Amino acid sequence: MAVVQFSPAQPVRAPEREDLHLAFRTVRARSLALTRGLSSEDQLVQSMPEVSPTKWHLAHVTWFFETFILKAHAHGYRPFHPGFEHLFNSYYNSVGEMHARPRRGLLSRPSHDEVLDYRAFVDEKMLQLLETAPTHLAPELSRLTILGLNHEEQHQELMMTDIKHVLSCNPLLPAAFEAPAPARSIALEDGWAGYEGGFVMLGHAGDGFAFDNETPRHKVWLRPFSLRTRPVSNRDYLAFIEDGGYDAFDLWLSDGWAVVKSEGWEAPLYWTKRDGEWHEFTLAGLRPLDLDAPVAHVSYYEADAFARWAGARLPSEAELEIALRGEPITGNVLPDVEDGAAMLAPMPRAAEHAGNNLMQAYGDVWEWTASDYAAYPGFAPVAGALGEYNGKFMCNQFVLKGGSCATPHGHVRASYRNFFYPKDRWQFTGLRLAKPY
């Protein structure tokens, strides 16, 4: 989907209003299209505290529009259901009390059909508001609507990673989507790309949409560094396993070694051996492990241990951002589909995903960095409830860059900062090696 961009200082003129309507309808329809292969029972399950049921996602992104736009700006708006403010509030203390995150899977009511009715109700009210709002409200409505659409797209990726975990817990190992023919790996140059370093500017620049955590732009110093031209593959990672990587305490951070022992990790999440052969659970069901695809579903701890084993290190956020900025935005990302999803999985490298210096720079897997998710110098959350969107999570997490096979196009950019806890591995998370130049 093309990203609709507005200057916040300008009122919404008629053509821009049409673009905003189109973007709204497109993003909202896409969320439903992504669920088309799922039963209503699939959409209720919560397989672990970090996973939200699909139905909850569909309602929560709707709650976002209702809470921050309709209740604030639609004259005389009456909420669809008074209890939904509580049920579908994720973490906004400014809005009020919320239903506990680990208990979202207990919400058998409202039914799936009622959630779809809620979506349709809010869609209609939103489109009415965008059509009839007075001119002086237009810039603020644009800003909030574009934020709401970007928020919904973030949840589209979470819906895919969450349902993958849900289905992986079912002994039948069901497929969510049809699988396309496997992509063929194309031999491309494999090596290291060198970068000079020096003083560089990091963070968002330009007029396009960015989240507040990508700002302000600021200067950092980088020593010369090199990046591997491709992400670490399943073949690479299998060599680490077969070399006893999960048994070698000296490769691991102390916290990581503790998790390896307590969780009994011996391979990435979703890897399993059948008849002596490694397989991987995918959104298209269980498949033989594709050795040429980037390794996915590894934690920060595993990525860090692998890098140490390989005689390299993880890149910093700044190093990856500078490298990504020099690459064309192309890659294996969430496909644009009207009536369902293609199989979402990291793929072997292909000629069309080769860039200037790196292969698969964007898409396939989020790449762990060695950088804490922290505020940029001078960062200030926006005033009000939406200031809770990013800033309060800047503690104990690590930054990931580049987007994955489940990331919507509009979220694939060099300055984008994804973040997860170091033990997390249910996202499409992989790595790329770095070393001194």
Q: Containing H/E element for 257? A: helix 254-263
**With respect to Fe ion, which residue has the nearer C-beta, 158 or 176?**
158
CB of 78 to Fe ion, least distance (A): 23
CB of 68 to Fe ion, least distance (A): 11
For the chain, the 3-state helix, strand and coil shares in percent, each to the nearest 5, are 40, 15, 50
Question: What separation in angstroms does the CA of 23 have from each of 29, 132, 240, 359, 385?
Answer: 10, 17, 45, 30, 24
CB of 62 to Fe ion, least distance (A): 11
Asked if 90 is part of the footprint of Fe ion (rule: CB under 5 A), the reply reads yes
- Number of chain positions touching Fe ion (CB under 5 A): 1
**With respect to Fe ion, which residue has the nearer C-beta, 57 or 125?**
57
CB of 85 to Fe ion, least distance (A): 14
> Apex CA 102: angle with CA 99 and CA 103, to 5°?
55
CB of 281 to Fe ion, least distance (A): 26
CB of 416 to Fe ion, least distance (A): 16
CB of 423 to Fe ion, least distance (A): 21
**With respect to Fe ion, which residue has the nearer C-beta, 99 or 279?**
99
> For residue 188, what are its two tokens?
């491309």
**With respect to Fe ion, which residue has the nearer C-beta, 90 or 371?**
90
Question: What separation in angstroms does the CA of 173 have from each of 271, 272, 286, 287?
Answer: 13, 12, 7, 11
The piece of 89-97, 118-126, 168-176, 342-350 that touches Fe ion (CB under 5 A) is 89-97
The piece of 87-95, 168-176, 268-276, 290-298 that touches Fe ion (CB under 5 A) is 87-95
**With respect to Fe ion, which residue has the nearer C-beta, 165 or 228?**
165
Site string for Fe ion, 47-86 (x = CB under 5 A): ----------------------------------------
The piece of 8-16, 88-96, 373-381, 419-427 that touches Fe ion (CB under 5 A) is 88-96
> For residue 154, what are its two tokens?
């973030």
Calculate the CA 434 to chain-centre distance: 23
**With respect to Fe ion, which residue has the nearer C-beta, 31 or 90?**
90
Q: Tell which residue, 329, 320, 322, 321, has the closest CA to residue 353.
A: 329
CB of 56 to Fe ion, least distance (A): 10
Amino acid identity of residue 98, one-letter, is M
Under a CB-based contact definition with an 8 Å cutoff, are residues 81 and 59 in contact? no
**With respect to Fe ion, which residue has the nearer C-beta, 153 or 367?**
153
Enter the DSSP assignment of 271: E
**With respect to Fe ion, which residue has the nearer C-beta, 90 or 316?**
90
Report the residue closest to Fe ion, judged by CB: 90
CB of 90 to Fe ion, least distance (A): 5
211 by Cβ neighbours in 10 Å (0-12 / 13-18 / 19+) ranks as middle
Q: Beta partners for 226? A: 194, 435
> For residue 44, what are its two tokens?
């209720």
Q: Tell which residue, 188, 159, 142, has the closest CA to residue 15.
A: 142
**With respect to Fe ion, which residue has the nearer C-beta, 61 or 341?**
61
Cβ-Cβ contacts under 8 Å for 9 (sequence gap 6 or more): 139
Contact residues toward Fe ion (CB under 5 A) are: 90
